Amino acid sequence: MKNGKMRAVGVVPQKRAVRIVSQPAPEISSPTQVKIRTIEVGICGTDREICNFEYGTPPAGSEFLVLGHEALGEVVQVGSSASQFKVGDLVVPSVRRPCPHHSCLPCQSERQDFCFTGDFTERGIKMTHGFMTEYFVDEEKHLNFVPPELRDVGVLVEPLTVAEKGMNQVWQVQQRLPWESGADPEKGRGYGKTAVVLGAGPVGILGAMTLLVNGFTTFVYSRSPAPNPKSELVEAIGAKYVSSQTTPLKKFAAQVGNVDLVYEAVGVGQISFEVTKLLGLNGIFVFTGIPPEKPAIPIEADCLMRDLVLKNQILIGTVNADRPAFEGAIRDLGIFKKRWPEALRALITGRYPLESFQDLLLEKGPGIKSVITLE
Ligand code: BGC
Ligand code: ZN
């Protein structure tokens, strides 16, 4: 901070540029707001797409958008009626903010993850500045308390909410049939079932961890031949890593048997629709990726349709996280840290200063999860 101005990473779509911008430090302007000092900000595929100018919109009237939606921060000031937090607390903000329309039932009920109008905003993504800067201010209702023992991994809360929201959706959808294992709560709701995670990036690995703590037998299907750092991490947590380069889909299908759940975390239509063929009876396929537009590809539509009908299958898309998903992520991160302390830490492969943004935001960043540290 210099003369009340802070550094931020800004995307300027009209100039097709990504650069350090200078912004006035934000101040609390209502009694329910909280001011936060940014500790760390994670970088994900969405950020890289925004930097390719395929996604993302600056706030109205601004030339640039401040990037960053995966943040961990420390409370430095609380508004006069922001009673939930105190100075020094660690917090993770949610991403989406409700649309202004009174007719939008989801947004009116704090379920902007299901906004009806499309006029929601998202911090660091759509029409609201993000957290890749030194301080930010937010309404306390958009903040989630993180216990101090999770400080070193708290930046993983937001990417973990993808899996948490996905799993919440799965349990709700599958309630339409007797699916969940009720036998032994100790073993998890997914005990006796098989899940396949597609992709071994941070969303995939965090998804695999979530599935494992829910009791699923978990496979991760990803391109790179093993061993590699991702396959080693996957095997260390007790999932099975299978490379699509050395094990083609047919062979993999014979290996896994009946697949109850596929968790897509690869963001590519071609391989995802191929893998729908693995889905077994009463299976559910969860899409989380947001691919950029590409030319049409052939898919075996009749096979897919036949399976959807004859096998009672569901394909479902999920985006953005509600408060229960954030709370679930914070709880599960604590469980992961106890169960796999080294693997969880190994997921964050690099911590860099703000000024390193260029290399980190290229199409394929280094390592598994890169994090910008502002301390
Ligand atoms: C974020 C979500 C957001 C989505 C679409 C993801 O990277 O985690 O919160 O809704 O992008 O913009
Ligand atoms: Zn993200």
Task: Give one DSSP letter per residue of 253-280, joined into a string.
Answer: HHHH-SEEEEEE-S--HHHHHHHGGGEE
- Tell me, what's the pLDDT at 375? 79
Closest ligand 1 atom, CA of 94? Answer: 9
Token digits for 320? 């953005």
What band does 364 get if pLDDT is binned at 50, 70 and 90?
A: confident
Residue 3 confidence (pLDDT) above 90: no
In short, whether 46's Cβ falls inside 6 Å of ligand 1 is yes
In short, whether 123's Cβ falls inside 6 Å of ligand 1 is no
Please give the average per-residue pLDDT across 51-66, as a whole number: 96
Express each pLDDT in 87-97 by its tens digit. 999 999 999 99
In short, whether 44's Cβ falls inside 6 Å of ligand 1 is yes
Token digits for 12? 């300027």
Closest ligand 1 atom, CA of 126? Answer: 12
What band does 362 get if pLDDT is binned at 50, 70 and 90?
A: confident
Cα 160 to averaged position of ligand 2 atoms, centre (Å): 9
Please give the average per-residue pLDDT across 310-324, as a whole number: 98
222 phi and psi, to 5 degrees? -145, 165
In short, whether 125's Cβ falls inside 6 Å of ligand 1 is yes
Which of 106, 109, 144, 137 has its CA nearest to residue 123? Answer: 137
What band does 152 get if pLDDT is binned at 50, 70 and 90?
A: very high
Residue 82 confidence (pLDDT) above 90: no
76/141 Cα distance (integer angstroms): 16
In short, whether 325's Cβ falls inside 6 Å of ligand 1 is no
What band does 280 get if pLDDT is binned at 50, 70 and 90?
A: very high
Express each pLDDT in 60-69 by its tens digit. 999 999 999 9
Residue 366 confidence (pLDDT) above 90: no
Cα 248 to averaged position of ligand 1 atoms, centre (Å): 31
Closest ligand 1 atom, CA of 319? Answer: 10
Please give the average per-residue pLDDT across 309-325, as a whole number: 98
Q: What is the total residue count of the chain?
A: 375
Cα 177 to averaged position of ligand 2 atoms, centre (Å): 32
147/41 Cα distance (integer angstroms): 17
Nearest alpha carbon, ligand 1 atom 3: 320
Express each pLDDT in 231-277 by its tens digit. 999 999 999 999 999 999 999 999 999 999 999 999 999 999 999 99
In short, whether 265's Cβ falls inside 6 Å of ligand 1 is no
What band does 329 get if pLDDT is binned at 50, 70 and 90?
A: very high
- Tell me, what's the pLDDT at 190? 96
In percent, how much of the chain has pLDDT > 70?
Answer: 100
Nearest alpha carbon, ligand 1 atom 7: 46
Among positive and negative, which fits the CA dihedral 265, 268, 271, 274? positive
Nearest alpha carbon, ligand 1 atom 10: 320
Nearest alpha carbon, ligand 1 atom 11: 46
Cα 172 to averaged position of ligand 2 atoms, centre (Å): 24
In short, whether 320's Cβ falls inside 6 Å of ligand 1 is yes
Please give the average per-residue pLDDT across 313-327, as a whole number: 98
What band does 186 get if pLDDT is binned at 50, 70 and 90?
A: confident
Cα 319 to averaged position of ligand 1 atoms, centre (Å): 6
Say if CB 340 and CB 209 are below 8 A apart.
Answer: yes
Provide the residue type at 326 as one letter. Answer: F
What band does 182 get if pLDDT is binned at 50, 70 and 90?
A: confident
Token digits for 284? 């559910």
For residue 24, the tally of other CB atoms under 10 A from its CB is 9
In percent, how much of the chain has pLDDT > 90?
Answer: 93
- Tell me, what's the pLDDT at 123? 98
